[in-house]
Structure 1
Amino acid sequence: MTHFHAPPYEYAILPLGRTHYQFAGPPSGEVVVLIHGNAAPLITWDETVGPLVDAGYRVLRYDLFGHGLSDVPTLRRYDKTLYENQLSGLLEILKIDKPVAIVGTSQGGTIAAQFTVRFPDRVTKVCMLAPFVDNLERKLLALLRQPVFGELLIRMASCSKLMDQSACFMDSRVWAAFRDRLQMVWSAAGRRVAILANLRGDALEDASEVFRSLAALRKPVRLLWGDQDQSISRHSISHLRDLVPKCDYSELQGAAHLMHVEFPERINPLVVEFLGAQNSNSRP
């Protein structure tokens, strides 16, 4: 598997802390923003950046707060406005004034939708890979949201358990190779704080209204999902398709949650094709 060799680490100083980002591609290219999910930081896009750059795009990927090399804000709750403001602030610091296309995976797909609904003039189109919709385990969530008890539960989780994303892959060898890269940018202490704050905020509440609002904007939307995904259920994806009926949907047979990492040869052409397609959803 070939990985994109990223430029040196770069950081943007935002009000709530540093954001680690990487920019690649021709300066004159249309900007595509890649937003990772909870499974892994920006390295999840290592197999995606190269093909997008080869297609002429200027690619921006970054670590969400609490992930990778970005800071971990000391907040009890990570609400969706935190993630929306992080991206908005990053685009402002980098002086990206023109609208961008956004590709997001898992919670990153939901953040992409939330950002688009809040800042519709700043986004041209949205591609979502198995985005979070509505299916968190409510009983566990209620326990984790309790003061003290939530901290106790998250401390009891071992480092290996917190980092384990094996269920997101079909092939254990691909997961093993990815885990080696993940270990280099993974902090147990930081992840514990961020996981708990993320679960206590509203960023993982039922996102049905967000997707309904996204559909009302009539922007081009592509939705990709693997039929072996153990994180996002078929029921959730069916519900999302009902909410955004004009989305361009592709179902990948034999693919799990991190399908863009495991099967880049199948996912990248779908993403590149969608980004290059003419806007048809906005027509009357």
Structure 2
Amino acid sequence: MADSTSTSNEREQIITIDTIPYYTLLEGPPNGPIIILIHALMANHHIYDSTVTTLHQQGYQTLRYDHIGHNKTPPPTDPTLNKQGVFNFDTFCHHLNHIWTSINSADNGARAHDPTPTPAAIIGCSIGGVLALRYHMLYPPPPGHITKILSMAAPGMSTLPNSAEKWNARIEKWRADGTNKDLASATLDRWFPEPRPKNFDMERARRIVESCTLDGYEICAWATMNFDYTDQLYRITDGQNVMVLAGEKDGNIGPKEVLVDVSQRIEGSKYVLLEGAGHIPPMHPDVFEPVMLEFLG
């Protein structure tokens, strides 16, 4: 761990895991329950800027981080790590657990009266939605503790048909162009189809998308090309604490029936089709945040 700065309400930390210096940001009321927020591929932690403000007003702390090669977390410097098959969703979950353990251990110095072994909630978008559910399988809360899981806009819990073909074509376009500007435009059109809300800031969304590096894009895209946790969803036995959410206008993940199926495999979970939202529901705060707060209780 290095390069740590802190204030009473905000603490940035660089947490190095397997040579990857992850950027992390803990914010909110001291001693508040911690909610982890996981962003989408080709995005960064800023998709949750409105979300964290709302959660802080409700007394929660929030923990955000950037994926490998996204925004403030650089791609690997070791070329042997930037190869297909090195990283997968389980690797990302192990890294997340390392981040959580490091942050929680440090934070419990101020929370000695009420230490907690598990976050209050994990909210994930797109691949973050996959990670939220997979993390819950690998690191379930111990008896007597609850972690609520809000998985949104996930591409199911197994590789979608033609996924490798689509991702490889996008990677090759980025390489050929030498920039992700055209790919960013196509991505934003899928994520936020017309008509968009009047107050939607497309330039801000573009800055978020263009903060991704090609190496980071490849590493996360490769993880989506070969995974299948569908038959392990039965391991989630506290489905009453799980919400599976799809954006009504999401043009990125395909048929919403994929997420209906995920929810049906988790006994007791709730499925929500969020009216007016695209692939990044947190950037539609007017419709997303009331649903989120109701779920968190």
TM superposition score normalised by structure 2: 0.77
Identify unmatched segments of 5+ residues in structure 1. Answer: 1-5, 277-284
For the 8 Å contact 1:228–1:254, the answer to whether it is kept is: yes
User: Contact 2:276 / 2:287 at 8 angstroms: preserved in 1?
Assistant: no
Amino acid at match of 1:16: T
| Residues 14, 89 of structure 1: 8 Å contact kept | yes
The aligned counterpart of 2:68 is 65
Aligned residue type for 1:90: I
One-letter code aligned to 1:259 = P
Deviations 1:145-184 (A, max 9, x none): 7xxx99755512542133232321142872523235426x
Q: Tell me the amino acid that sits aligned with residue 18 of structure 1.
A: P
CA distance in 1, matches of 2:239, 2:161: 32
CA deviation profile, 1:16-65 (whole Å, cap 9, x unmatched):
31111111112211110001111411011011000101000011111111
Letter in structure 1 aligned against 2:221: L
Question: In structure 1, what is the equivalent of residue 189 of structure 2?
Answer: 166
Pairing 1:203-214 to 2, within 5 Å after superposition: 205-214=227-236
- Per the TM alignment, residue 199 of structure 1 is displaced from its structure 2 partner at its CA by 3.1
Structure 2 match to 1:225? 246
Matched, 1:201 2:223: yes
Q: Distance in 2 between matches of 1:7 and 1:166?
A: 33
Corresponding residue for 2:6? none
Q: 1:93 matched to which residue of 2?
A: 102
Counterpart AA for 1:169: F
Aligned residues: 262
Quick check: 1:271 aligned with 2:287?
Answer: no
Q: Stretches of 4+ moved more than 6 A in 1?
A: none
Among all aligned residue pairs of Structure 1 and Structure 2, give the percentage whose two residues are the same amino acid.
Answer: 21
Aligned-residue Cα RMSD (Å) equals 2.9
Aligned to 2:276: 254
**Shift of residue 121, structure 1, vs aligned partner:** 2.4
- 192-201 or 82-91, larger mean C-alpha shift: 192-201
Residue of structure 2 in register with 1:46 after alignment = 49
* Most deviating of 14-23 and 56-65: 14-23
* 2:139 corresponds to: 119
Q: Is the contact made by 2:240 and 2:269 (CA closer than 8 Å) also made in structure 1?
A: no
1:257-284 Cα shifts (integer Å, max 9, x gaps):
11220x20221122122122xxxxxxxx
* Change over 3 Å in CA distance of 1:176–1:102 after alignment to 2: same
Q: What secondary structure is seen at the aligned counterpart in 2 of 1:120?
A: coil
Quote the Cα distance in structure 2 between the aligned partners of 1:150 and 1:163: 10
Q: Which residue of structure 1 lines up, in the alignment, with residue 82 of structure 2? A: 75
Q: Which runs of 5+ in 2 are unaligned?
A: 1-8, 106-115
Q: 108-117 or 173-182, which moves further after superposition?
A: 173-182
